[in-house]
Amino acid sequence: MPSGYVAVKINVASITGKNNEANILRWLNNTTQNPQGDCNIIHLLDDFVVKGPNGFHECLVTEVVAGMNDLKDTEFYKTSVKAICFQMMLDLSYLHERGVTHGGTNTSPVL
């Protein structure tokens, strides 16, 4: 990570302990079957739990995907929308090949 920045996702307390995201990311990162697909899956760098006034919050530390300014209404974004959408569809297909889906319960790989 040349920039030295990381992203931190802080989950709401009500899903901490029920969320399987960290386990799925660890599993995907440790069982590379397709380097082409894996290079576009976010890498989990660390995870931890913080106690706050509303309960316990699971925190995921990942690499930065894009800066906030990169997603604004810029000329780069306007000219790249089709390529970005195409890449997202390839990545979604890769996740489904690996047995990872979004939403519902018990839809992710058994870990």
Encoding tokens for residue 71? Answer: 């997603």
Q: Is residue 28 within 8 Å of residue 44, measured between CB atoms?
A: no
Q: List pLDDT tens digits, range 67-103.
A: 666 666 677 677 777 888 888 888 888 888 888 876 5
pTM of the shown model: 0.69
Per-residue pLDDT at 84: 80
Q: List pLDDT tens digits, range 13-72.
A: 887 677 888 888 888 887 766 555 556 788 899 999 999 898 899 999 998 877 666 666
Per-residue pLDDT at 86: 87
What are the angstrom distances between the C-alpha of 104 and each of 18, 38, 51, 58, 101? 12, 24, 26, 19, 9
